[in-house]
Amino acid sequence: MTERVIGELSPRPAIKRPTLPLWQNCLVIVITLTYLICELAFNSRLLDLVGSLSTPDDIHSMEGYGRALTAIAAALLVLQLVLAGNAWLKKRGIEFPPLYVASMVFSLCLLTGVVTWQTVERVIEHQVAQSTGEFRQKSLLAQLYQQSLIDGQQTLEGIPLDPGGGQRQTWTSPSGKAFLAMLPLLMSSVSRYHPLLESEAAQNLRDSITVREGGLLGYYKAWLAARAEIYKDYLSYYPMTQTDVRYHGELIPARLDWETFFMLDVVQNRLRDQLALPRQSRVRPEYRKDDALKQFAIELQSPHLDYVVQQQLPRLQAAQASYGPGGENEKQGEDAARAVIVPPIALMFSLLGALTHLAKLLYLLLLPLSAALLYITSWRPIRLINRHPLTFPVLLICLLLGMFSVMNNSITASPSWHALRHGLQGADVAITGEPSALGGGTLLRVIHAVSIGQSYSYPLNHALRQNLLMGFDFGYETREK
């Protein structure tokens, strides 16, 4: 009887409560949730960037937003630590004036944000500045290869084909975009893929120019614009009554008919300059449309593409030293290296920040919730969560990462992926003159986890950006092709 009474009067297990006051805990939860929404939305937009044609300005804008979010993530961690430290001191009788505490919190968070911003910037700029001429040159070629995949001009052997025979559906999917974010870095930093980039350079350049000009129809519109300009000149020329008329520095006969005027050498030279055509090309004043512009494609577009490729290819094939410091192609090489390096780093920091603050948010929610539930029930799982509130979020994230590492999709289950994995075993990743600490096999495992994770997270992240952030584009505006 005595033992039973003593057992009934024994104290309840100690309940662990939040260190911060209720209002501060709620404030940190709201700020963390807001940050997470912005970070996840940025993550979806970053994938949109790497899954489409982008410019150095697009890369620079997204890089700025990425650094800002990383700086905010670090500042939020400091905010919680400083508030928790202040609450701990207050419980021990050491109390500071509220204005002093607010100033200290603001100063430390601002300092942390600035230091983080500059650190991330230095990491990127150091990699770009120290990158070798070979890496920069191959980065240009890798970007062209990536663009050919995105545009459907080229297929990657071993990746499943769409019903139409291409792979556009694969590369526009979240997992495909995540793979494309890493592919240029992989191909430009691992030497075994350099021969592939070099052998495909001319065709990839041709494909890139075609897409940039809007294909056959785009170049046809350029011809129409050039012809319209010549016709305007003709309307001004024809009424003149003198025997010879000076046109762009040359004397030509007066009152020629339209077709004769159009075929004059001085006119043809203007057209060849405007349409980037070789000197031997002759531009007709009219092309049939009933043959789907086949004659136009053969007589104008194909020679034009050959000519432009011939003009631009030597730069891509220039000596690697020309892309290094002080070289003729240094600026172009730096832009290419930055475009290859920034998306993977931004994606890694984005994922790291999101996972860290997801764990923190779950911790902030679970601790007060479990404390409240312990007043209702003493169920053992609730006691464990209350006693170790950070363990569950960390285990959950580790479980997700582990699952993403072993799950597969159409890309990671393809023969092409297995060939990559086999080829990267023991391969070095070389951006600067020294091999990176990150090996090729490790990089591919990271790509695997990111590709699978994005398959599940992108739809949610995209919905958050569209609905809660009103479609905010983070400095990258999608251009219609």
Q: What residue type is assigned to position 214 of the chain?
A: G
CA distance 142 to 125: 20
Rounded mean pLDDT, 315-344 = 89
Tell whether the model's pLDDT for residue 480 goes beyond 70.
no
10 pLDDT tier (thresholds 50, 70, 90):
very low
Which of 123, 148, 151, 147 is CA-nearest to residue 344? Answer: 123
6 pLDDT tier (thresholds 50, 70, 90):
very low
CB proximity list for 143: less than 8 A, separation 6 or greater = 184, 336, 339, 340
For 229-233, 353-357, 475-479, which range has the lowest pLDDT when averaged over its residues?
Answer: 475-479
286 is written with which tokens? Answer: 């009219």
CA distance 67 to 50: 17
CB proximity list for 112: less than 8 A, separation 6 or greater = 71, 74, 75, 77, 78
220 pLDDT tier (thresholds 50, 70, 90):
very high
Question: Given this model, what pLDDT does residue 12 score?
Answer: 54
CA distance 302 to 368: 69
Tell whether the model's pLDDT for residue 7 goes beyond 60.
no
Rounded mean pLDDT, 452-470 = 90
If one compares 342 and 3, the residue with the highest pLDDT of the two is 342
481 pLDDT tier (thresholds 50, 70, 90):
very low
Rounded mean pLDDT, 169-189 = 85
Rounded mean pLDDT, 304-316 = 94
If one compares 127 and 480, the residue with the highest pLDDT of the two is 127
CA distance 295 to 118: 56
CA distance 258 to 238: 9
- Give me the chain's average pLDDT, please: 87
Angle at 407 between CA 405 and CA 413, to 5 degrees: 105
Share of the chain above pLDDT 90, in %: 35
What is the DSSP code (8-state) at residue 14? P
Alpha helix stretches (DSSP H) within 92-132: 98-130
User: What global pTM score does this model have?
Assistant: 0.79
Tell whether the model's pLDDT for residue 264 goes beyond 50.
yes
For 275, half-sphere exposure in the C-beta direction (CA atoms, 13 angstrom radius) is 34
Contact criterion met (CB below 8 Å) for 41 and 465: yes
Tell whether the model's pLDDT for residue 423 goes beyond 90.
no
Rounded mean pLDDT, 108-127 = 91
5 pLDDT tier (thresholds 50, 70, 90):
very low
What is the DSSP code (8-state) at residue 157? T
225 is written with which tokens? Answer: 């614009």
